[in-house]
Every structure is written in C-alpha cells, then in structure tokens.
Structure 1
C-alpha cells in the first residue's frame, strides 16, 4: 500500500486542466510528464511474451519468450516467476516502466485467435502462474498490467461484443484469476477490456471499482485498452484512471469541460490522478528509486521455458532418439526451417536471432547422422519476412503531401512498424528501396504484407498498384492483419533486382513487412521425393504449424484444422517412414487426424526464440519434455461450447461453469487428450493420498514414486468433486497441484494445500461465498481423467 496522502497533496497543487492532462497518453506509448510536481513520463509496452519497447525495431531487438500457453503448460510456479523476472529485466533494459502483461483471460474455447496469450482454460492454474509472473516482474520496479478485465475471450467483434454471463460464473471462472493475482501478487495496474459485460462497456463498468478495489483490495491504476475509451462522462465517472493512447483522447479538454459543467465530480479526477502518481512512485517516475536486482539471463529463461512447456502427447518409445541407433533422419516441414515461434499481433517482438529446429537438430545429432530436409508442406499463403542477407541495405524515405523529402533513414529489418507518433511530422507516405539478390535460382515470390495504398516497382517497372485492406475489421486490424501482395519472378542465382515500394499509409501509421517466398519444386515432385526419403530414413520428424491468418490478434479461428496440406503430408510420411515424430507448433490446440498413425507427438506451442535448441534437446533426450496440457485438446472442431462466436453483437456464456475439461466431463465426451495430460521419459506411481484439515486449512499429502530409470517430472493434480451437491457443480474441478522432480527409483511425499475457496460456491442470492457442508471427494491424479487416488474430506461451516 502506498502513501496516497502524499500524492493527494501533490494533486492539490495542480489546476483542473493539469490534473486532467495527466489522465490520457501523451503519445501512443507514453504518459505525460508534469514538471511542477517532479513527474517524468512513463513508458508502456506490450509484453506477454517479450518486451517490445517503444518501437518494433531490429536495431533494438527483444528476447522472445515462449507463448503464455507454453508457460501455462509448465504448471511450474517457480519457472513462471523466473519468466516474470526476465520480463522485468528486459523492461528495465529497454527503459519501459509498465509492461502490458500478463493476460489472465480464460481460454473459453480453442477457437480464440488470441488464446496463445493466455495461460489455461482453468482459473486455478491461470491464477497461480499469473501471480508468479506478476511477482517476478515487479521485483524489478516494473509495473505488471493484468488484462483484459474482464470476459475478453473473443477476437470476433472484440471492440463491441456484449458478453452475457451470470454472476456465479463471472465470480467462479472469469473473475477468479484476477482475484487470485490481485490478492496474492499485488499488481500495480489493470487494463479494462474493449468488450461490454451485460450491456455496459468495460471502460465504463462498475466492475472497475467493485469487486476490484472494494473487495480484493486493488490499490493500483486502471488503464483502458488502446482506444477502448469511447465516452467522456460515463468513463470518467467509472473507475478508469488512464485513457490510452494519446494525444487524441475522449478525455482532455472535453473532460475539463464536463467537470466545469458539473457532469463529473472533480474529486473523481483527483482520485484518478492520485492513482497515476501511485504508479509513478512505484516505477521510479516520481521519486528516484534504485532497484538492486541480479537480472536473469533472458535467453536461458526462454530456453528453459520452451523445454518446460513442451508436452509429449503420445510416444511408442521412439522418443528420445536412441543414441547411436539413428543414422539417417528426415526432417519435413516449412516450420522446421522457418519456425512459427510466436503468435501474431501486439504480442510480437523482433528477436536478435532465432535458431531453427532444423539447424539445432543438425548440431545436436552425431556427426555421422545424416539429416535431410524436405519442405514438403505448403501451410501458408503469406510471404516470409525478407532475409536481410538477400536484401542488403533497406532505405526508407518519408515524404510530405507534395512529395518532398521529410526524413531519410536506413533500416535493419524487413518489418517496419511506425505507429502514429513515430511517423516523422508532416509525412503522409514513404518509399522503401532495396536490392534483392537471389541465393538460389527459380521462381521467387517477391512483395510485401500490409494495408494502405501501394505501388511496387522492380527494376523501375511498376508490377503492382492498388489499395490493400485488412481481411478483418476492428481496432488494429490494419496493423496486424494486412494481406500479402506479391509477384512471381524467375531469377538466376546471384541475380540482383532493384526493388521499390511506395506506400501511402493510414492514420494509425505504417505496419508492413517486406517479404519473399523461395522457389519450390512442384507438388508432385516433392511428394515423390518425400516417399523415397521417408522409406530410406531411420526416423522422420515432421513439423506442422498454424499461420498468421489462424492465430493472431484481431481474428478468431473458424476451424481447428491445420492450414494447407500439412495433414496430407503427415499421413504420407507416416505411411512410408519406419517411425514418425510429429512436432506441432501452435499457440493452442489444432486437430490432428493422423494422431494414430505416428510414433510420437510433441506439442511445442509457440516456443520463442530458443525453440530450435529446446526441441533438439527434447528429441535427443538431453532434456525431458516437462509440460502438461493447460487446456483440453480436441480431436476436431466438435467442442462442447454452446456459442463460439457472437450473434447479433451478443456472446452468451450459456455453458456457465462448464468450460474446458469441465464441459467434456459434463457431456460424457473425451477429447483427443485431456486437460493435465502429458508424458515424460520415465514412469510414475501415486499412492497414500490423505487429507488433513485444521486451522491452517486443508492439505493433501500424496506419495510419488519415479518407477523409471531416469530423472523426470510429473505434475500431481488434486481435483474436488461433490456428486450429491444441491448446487450446479462441475463433475470435478482443479483445486491444487504440484510440479515435482525426482530421480529414478525415488519416492517422496508431497503436500498440496487446498484454499478454502476451492470448496466454496458463489451465491447470487446473498452475493457472497458459501460453503456447502458435507462430503467432498478429493481426487488425486495426473490429468482431469486419469485419477489414481480418491479420498474424502468433510467440510463444515
């Protein structure tokens, strides 16, 4: 708790206009400074899987960590704290005060396009991982911003959708992670979401005060999602403190006028300003603060998190590859050489380097093991970012309406993102020039990804012209969901083409990627080669992935099927190779119709910049796949969710408490793999489950024995059930867990505390938590369906 009286005294020194001036962004990513009270500007940046900084720029790269779904798959609270510490250290390195992370929304459905930014479908797991990330991040004096408060679980119509959810479901499912993190980790900021809940948009909602501040004790700052503030008076009367971004805002002078007309109480403005100064004090923007912390090595944390989240879904003994027994390995897939290591949208960062799984496998396997790569799959219609070694220098010229030069610069990245404030003053268009030199002969596709008006010239001849629009509507669509535009050129090895792209951009700024796609053999020729190479190898490792169109901010998926021909290629290889290992690179589950045809399947999620070495270590057995599924993995598009997409602007959570594994259990159906599932390279037995209750609460003890011949990890999961309840309840629900590591042949007793809340339910009638007296079943296992031990505990009021 900070000293609000000091901040209140500072606020009283300011005029109304000065106070209101503090409450909207100065720029897209910064807050205003105020010299009279010694306040400097604060810098904010996206950061669910890496802290981007104020610019997307290869000149200032960011460490790209595995996606939050991968961190959720670790079930490892200490690893999550390290992840948070690494984010905090990265933020300090980049001069960022406030990181817009973590995302505490629930994966209500695997169709969510932004599911990869979330931790799990279960609120207990989300809360535990999220609290650890927040605590680790804020050790470095950097504010964590928990988001998106609340029920922001759909990208479809995300700016306007009205979520209908009953009070009990809101409390027990969607509020639950936020409450846990606020109470246990004390985040310094909360982000109000775009969507409405039961008719009121979140930036105007009473929920910003109660229960957030009144019950949970939140004492930080509430900011809007970017451009989520749509009103002056209604949002100012609510618990919103900071309207982002700026300098254009519904607040500003309009809010000053509203206060002077008596429509908004000035005391409300004072409270908001006090909250902002409280945040500034915590991050060192109001007083000099020294943060003496040993920064973790971020790349190591990224590598550990990639291994920690990798889930071995199935394995017939092919993994790990037996040392000395494999002489020829076939690696298949575009994603092997050009990995899909992060999701699309505001979570994207530009890392200094990414080692591909193909290169990492070649380095990890013995010198006498031949590694053959065949791209095989055609999973993505998009261009790949143009490799800098093929582009040479990239020159960027900014032009005013008359075509005069405003500014020139040289770029070190094929991705150019300049949000409004980053665009040089007076510029309305830009010209990008580069030399493309082919390193192999054939038909190259050359072009760009982005929105706006474009003219593309090759060797002085215009080859493309016109306006490109985003495939989906919504805030930021033109930044995150621009289409690919390309032409095909037959180029000789070493031949150089002069490229020029003229671009007239929109009000949000510039977001484009210069792209290329390498020549490929015909489908028929590649399939023939695949058959031959598969038959000749000892093991085939096939990489499959989603693409930018299927997992990105701003758009939900309409199918869980892998894009392109990847399923067909997987079946072809599996039908000819003696053993086939599938590696799935996605942020959330995808349908795997060939799962019974392959020897092993690894879910690698979006593994971040260290995905290649991490997977090589897992495949060769140097490290064990340590992850367990943080969500149910369906076999196909038939998932037990009543309404996936909004209808008529409304999205009703009619399933109530029964989402994820709870829905599968209620309907008596089985997914391909259940929540909590995952294999390792050893085997386990759980026994002697017992329950003790006392003043300190309820504790479950269980003995775990590693029955294999190598060290390993398992995740002991404790579920509760109440079959005879008079209230609607899930068949079982997660109450606690422990990720444990033990050596071969060892046994150990582990203690898992169950919070009182695990036994309680929310009463909409009394608007309070209640305990239903009686017998609860305590179920101990290693997934939502694999229960090893059961016992009973009696709870009384």
Structure 2
C-alpha cells in the first residue's frame, strides 16, 4: 500500500496538474479547507487471475489468444463499433473472435422486443430480500444470455443517492452503501450465474445529472462537474458497494461521466488503477460510459480497457501511441487480456447468436421472457411500501363501489395522437412529463421497454368484476366528481425521473391538489404513489380522509397485478424505505439540489463527508423525517426479543485482530480476503404478535455505532417469514471485519477502532427495539 509520503513524492515527480492543490489526506472534510484529491497511481497493475481457479483458467485462455494477435488486432478489441447492440467490440475474424455485444439496461433489455420489463433496482432494494435480489439477477441475466448479449450494463450503485433530486437515483439500489452492496453482490451473482457478464456501474461519484458531461448546453459551456470527495468518504460510502460486486465476481466495471477531484473518471488513475485494480484487485475490464472518454493516452495509462461506443481517442491513435512509446505494449496487452479473460470467465465461447434487431425491419422472433412475469409480480409487491394505514383500511374487503382517479392509474390517460405505441424508451411512449400514464420505470438508458403493461386500472377493474362490483374513474381532472356512494377512492399519482436531467422538485401541485380534492369528498381515500425516487407527501398525509398511503415505486410490467395482490391482502406488505422521506424539501439541506455552476470548471464539494440520507438526519441536520430510512408498515405487528451477540474465535483474539492485514495472503476480487471474515454473529427473535390474523414477513435491521463514524450505520438485515400469528423466527446478522472497520487515510488500510461499538436491532433506523454492544480492545 502507498504511504502518504510516497503519494506526495509521485505527484512531485510526475509534475502536478494545474488543478491540483497541496495534497493532504483528510480524515474528515471539516478538518481542513476542503479540497478533494486524486493522487496519480501508475502503472496499471497487471493480474493473472489469482482470485480463483476459474479466473486463472480464463486468464490462461486469454493469454493463448493474445500471443497470436497482431498489434492492430489487439487495438481493435479495445474499441467500440456501431452494430447490432448498443456497443460492440472489434472482431478478429481470422481467429474466430466475434464482437462482444453490450446492452442496456439494469432493469431489462432496452431497445429490443420479446423481453421483460423488470422492476427498477431501486424498487428491488425496497424488498430488502436477498433471495429476491438473487432471483432478479438470474432472471435478467438469462434474458441477456438468451438474446446473445455478452455484457449487461448493470447492476448500479452509482449514483448512490447523495442528492435527493438527482435524476438517476432510481436506477441504483439504495442511498445506504451496505444495502446497496448486498444488492450488488446478489444481483451480480445471479446475472453471472446465467452466463452474462455483469457491469458494475457507474464508477465513481456521478451523483447528479447537471453538467455531468462537458460542453453541454449551459452558459458558458465548459468541463463537466467535478465531484470533490475525500479519501475516507470515497471508501466508506461511494466505493463500498463495488467491493461487494467484485466479491461476487463482476467481470466488468463502467467508469462514469463526470470529473472526480478534477480528473475525468475514465482517466482518473487513483480511482481506476489505485482503488479498483489495486485495492479491490479487480481482474476484469473497465469500459467507458458512452462517450465518457476525453483523452487517449491518459485514459489508457490510467486503467481504461475498452472505449465505447466507437473508437473514441483510440483506434489508429492507440496504435500510434504504442508505437511511439506513449502507451506501453504491456498496457495494451493488459487491456486485451482483461477483456478476453472476462469472456472466458463467463464461458461464452458457445454463446447464442445476437437476437437484438431494429424495429424498422422484419426479423426473427427471439422470445426470452420465459416465466419471468412471476418473479416480476412478486418483486413488484414485495418492494411496495405501506406508510399509512388508519384503522386497517387495507387490505380492502371486496368493496362493491370503487372509484379510481389520477393520470397514473392507466397506461394512457389521454388519447394523444403524437404518442408512438412502439419503439424507443417507455417515457417516449407514455409522456410522463405531461402526467400521462402509469409509471413502471424511469427514463433514459436505465429504462426498459415492456412487452405489455398491466396497469393499476386494469388489475383493479378485473378484481372488482370478480367481486360483482362497479368501477367509476376519472383520469384527467384535478378536481373530479366523487360519487357519494363510493366505498373507497383510489388516487394514483407519480413522480418521474430520468437520465440527463435532475428533478425540479420532490412534489407537484397538480398531484397534491388532486389528492386533497378527492379526499374532501371521500372519507376513505387511498393514495398510491409510483415514484422514481423520493416523493414528499406532507401536503396531504395528515388529511383525516386519507386513510392509507402506498409507495408503489417503479414495479415493472406487472405493476397492476403486484399492487392488487397487496391492496386486497393476497400479499402482506413487507417493503421498507431505502431512503429518507423528509417533511419538506428544505429538510435535506445541501443534499436537496445538485450543484449548479456556470464556471468553466464547475466544482461540487462533497463536504458533508459520510453524512448523507439518514446519517445526516440522525447526526447533523437534527431534523425529524416524515418517514425514516428502513420504515414500512405491515398488516400485522412484530415484536423483537432475545438479542444475542457471539464473538467468533478471531474476534476474541486481540493479536489476531491487530495482525490485519496478513500480507502473506494474496488479494482477491473485493480486496483482502480477511475483510470478509465474520467476526461476530448477532441474532434476535422476531414474533408475529398481530391480532388481525395476517401472516407476514418482517425485515429486521441491525445498526452499529462505530467509533469516529456516524451515529448509526446499517450493518445487517434479515427478512424473516412469512410468519403466521404467534409464530417466531430468528433473524441472523453476520458482522464481517469490513462492516466494523473505517478507512485509515494515512495507513491506506481498513482498520478496526479500539473501543465500544453499540448496536441496535429493530424495524427501521429509528424504530430500534433491542440494544447491545461489541468491545474491541
């Protein structure tokens, strides 16, 4: 590991770039005037597949091919081409090397037909269910595999969700790194078990859309925003989930658009060579986000391996750079070896033909949907969060007169003549920015294209027909007529978000007025919010006629079925919030809006350090949220008891703890193997004590207070059940060395802190039922 003095020496020897400030490691941004730094790390570390026998075998095959390649053929493998897929590498036809096919999106194949529209990964995270994380990854991975797509561009842990209004938060898994990391691990594992290369993205610090790319249409135009972040915060927040993805074997990582500490992320040697390829021991290849390469030689030497979507600054330029010594032939060989090794690691030699076709020409049908509608429906319901339920309004008891209101209730709220019913992203088809149609996913490259959509209106109407009742509806009016006979009034609103722009607000007046207007005339108003991110509700949440509120997320093609399963009690709610919902926008403080700047070199200082989302609400903002992180209601009640904390052998041996890291142990993907050792086991008993007769599952959550760290941090969760009334189960939490460690910026190591670690187990970040302690001496 590099010491501070070595890092400083390397800056001076290399010649500090014009943007560099005097370099100092910061334990916390408040300790000194804030400057984020990315010290140079060269050369790119080469690896040999030491993480596992499977990686070693893949590297052996890759090197056999490498030995047969001419210079131009090597270069051809590092660059993208326009082709059948959203990106394709070059081929080497004489050796039978076909183009490697890359495709979006994290929640389903984008730009193709006969594929499924899965819930977003944000919606998946709200299930807090590791089994569903894995099943989701397997199902999506199978569709990519069967379409002949080699590289799936997901899963997503960047953005992490620093900014409440950020446009792409819905693509990621959570604003908490531990929950996001668990999702990254299991989704990656599931995808790659189906034979497709998973791409952990976006690495790193792309936390807003405003000026994420250079020369966008702002006044003045200029460079992209620079996310300026201290070393500890990078490790403990933003890089944390990527450790998990690599531990699961992720064979590809995508670097992001913006600058990181004033160096573009795809040419930032500290991020790519230092953190990703050295500390995390990444053995796969790094691909640029599309058009995220801004220089040729610097990006090559900083660790970029493949450029997309075309040749970028490489192609013939890279050949010339190798010939004149600006890029070492060893670096080019490493690019090619890593890329081919990923291909062999996933055993893609005998792979289906690419089944992605343009919609403008007749083509063979390659139907890969299988029975995935079942898992989509299950995740849709499991990720729906019940946040208000007065006097057991829900589940519905087969009401005979059901009234439905709001633009979000059906697929098309108005018969717009200019709306295409095919092709493009879902937002193109359904004009969400005009409050026109139900929300099942977000916009941009992270969105999917559904084969069909089961709207809430269709599913509810079908259920009412079964019950012999009637339905009345009005999708368009802000102040609709409400029949005096209505037994329940369901109001559907949504909050859209997309790549390329950040959200203008966390509320909208039209939707808030709609809810209040219906509630004025209906004493049993149930509000359903489909939302691609935080949506505030204080304009109507305390209205006594609003009897139940459901956050239904972005649930994919089976949206209506998933919702009806929950509204009618076929499924008991178990979803929990994976972000904090404030009472008003100002409560988020500096974490509400993206950094807006008209400078040529715009700067975004992450001077809050580790304190984002619930960590900020708990420790710095001193503001009570409307609904805290981890919150979610059920149709039953759970109690917690019998907290037990058990130290394993190594945890009771202080000399063993102090000996980390054992330098005789080789690194693996995900860093030092000892980081993943379980040191303590924590258990608690969860019991269904409800009187409604409902069975249900509960997400038990473990929070830790680590010395020199935020007040509480999530460090475990276990979804137990479903439990019948009176039934109990044991929630189990394994505390690994990494879970209890902080990043020492001077030693450049993870280390345990000496002292008392308080721990709590409960139903949310603020509903903490049991308390215990771990002591590290």
TM-score band, normalised by shorter chain: 0.7 to 0.9
Match of residue 718 from structure 2: 738
Task: Look up the SS of the partner of 2:145 in the other structure.
Answer: helix
- Pick one of 576, 584, 588 that aligns with 2:521: 576
CA separation of 1:658/1:6 partners in 2, compared to 1, >3 Å: closer, same or farther? same
Q: Residue 282 of structure 1 is aligned with which of 345, 348, 352?
A: 345
Unaligned 5+ residue runs, structure 1?
Answer: 379-526
Residues 122 and 171, structure 2, Cα contact 8 Å, conserved in 1: yes
- Counterpart of 1:127 in structure 2 is 181
Change (3 A) 1:377 1:782: farther
Q: Note if contact 2:76-2:89 (Cα within 8 Å) is conserved in structure 1.
A: no
Within 5 A, what are the aligned runs for 1:570-649? 570-592=515-537, 593-597=539-543, 598-642=546-590, 644-646=593-595, 647=597, 648=599, 649=602
Three-state SS of the structure 2 residue aligned to 1:336 is: coil
Taking structure 1 as reference, are residues 296 and 677 closer, same or farther at Cα in structure 2, changes over 3 Å only?
Answer: farther
Render the CA deviation track for 1:454-497: whole Å, top value 9, x for unaligned. Answer: xxxxxxxxxxxxxxxxxxxxxxxxxxxxxxxxxxxxxxxxxxxx
Counterpart in the other structure of 1:402: none
Structure 2 residue aligned with 1:717 = 701
Contact 2:452 2:557 in 1 (8 A): yes
Shift of 1:630: 0.6
Q: 1:579 to 1:200 in 2, by over 3 A?
A: same
Asked if structure 1 preserves the Cα contact closer than 8 Å seen for 2:720 and 2:730, the reply is: no
Please point out which of 153, 159, 174 is paired with 1:100.
Answer: 153
User: Structure 1 residue 763 and structure 2 residue 712: aligned?
Assistant: no
Deviation at 1:217, TM superposition (A): 2.3
Give yes or no for contact 1:319–1:621 (8 Å, CA) kept in 2: no
Alignment partner of 1:370 out of 470, 477, 487? 470
- Give the secondary-structure state (helix, strand or coil) at the position aligned to 2:527: strand
Determine the structure 2 residue equivalent to 1:329. Answer: 402
Indicate which of 336, 340, 343 corresponds to 2:439: 340
Q: CA RMSD in A?
A: 1.8
Distance 1:122 1:639 in 2: 18
Shift of residue 673 of structure 1? 0.1
Q: What 5-or-longer segments of structure 2 have no aligned partner? A: 1-54, 214-223, 354-367, 412-437, 650-677
Partner Cα separation in structure 2 for residue 322 and residue 117 of structure 1 = 31
Kept after mapping to 2: 8 A contact 1:61/1:350: no
Which of 474, 489, 493 is residue 540 of structure 1 equivalent to? 489
More strand per residue: 1
In structure 2, relative to structure 1, the CA distance for the partners of 1:660 and 1:622 (3 Å cut) is same
Q: Is the 8 A contact 1:48 1:347 kept in 2?
A: yes
CA distance in 2, matches of 1:626, 1:97: 35
Counterpart CA distance in 1 for 2:631 and 2:395 is 22
Q: How do 1:372-521 residues align onto structure 2 when only pairs under 5 Å count?
A: 372-377=472-477
1:51 aligned residue = 109
Q: In the alignment, does 2:135 pair up with 1:82?
A: yes
Q: Is the CA contact 1:85–1:296 (under 8 Å) kept in the aligned structure 2? A: no
**SS of residue matched to 1:561:** coil
Q: Secondary structure at the match of 2:387?
A: strand
The reply on whether 1:251 has 2:200 as its aligned counterpart is no
Correspondence for 1:674: 628
Partner of 1:688, secondary structure, is strand
Aligned length: 626
Partners in 2 of 1:750 and 1:367 — Cα distance?
A: 39
Question: Which residue in 2 is equivalent to 1:266?
Answer: 329
SS at match of 1:751: strand
The CA distance in 2 between the partners of 1:311 and 1:736, in whole Å, is 20
How far is the alpha carbon of 1:531 from its aligned partner? 4.1
Shift of 1:200: 1.0
CA distance in 1, matches of 2:370, 2:681: 33
Distance 1:13 1:736, change over 3 A: same
Runs of 4+ in 1 over 3 A off after TM superposition: 282-290
2:99 match: 41
Give the deviation of 1:9 after TM superposition.
Answer: 3.3
Paired position in structure 1 for 2:505: 559
Query: Are the counterparts in 2 of residues 109 and 641 from structure 1 also a CA contact under 8 Å?
Result: no
Q: Using the TM superposition, give the Cα deviation of residue 781 of structure 1 relative to its aligned residue in structure 2, in angstroms.
A: 0.8
Checking the alignment, whether the CA contact within 8 Å between 1:48 and 1:102 is kept in structure 2 is yes
Q: Shift of residue 158 of structure 1? A: 1.0
Deviation at 1:532, TM superposition (A): 3.6
Partner of 2:455: 356
SS at match of 2:189: helix
Q: Give the superposition deviation at 1:283.
A: 4.2
1:177 and 2:241 equivalent? Answer: yes
Tell me if 1:650 matches 2:750.
Answer: no
Cα 1:296–1:627 change in 2 (3 A) is: farther
- The structural deviation recorded for 1:156 is 0.9
SS in 1 for 2:81: coil
Shift of 1:357: 0.5
Offset of residue 639 of structure 1: 3.6
Aligned: 1:659 with 2:612: yes
Q: Are the aligned partners of 2:116 and 2:369 in contact in 1 as well (CA < 8 Å)?
A: no
Q: Which of the two has greater helix per residue?
A: 2
Question: Cα offset for 1:672?
Answer: 1.1
Q: Distance in 1 between matches of 2:739 and 2:776?
A: 11
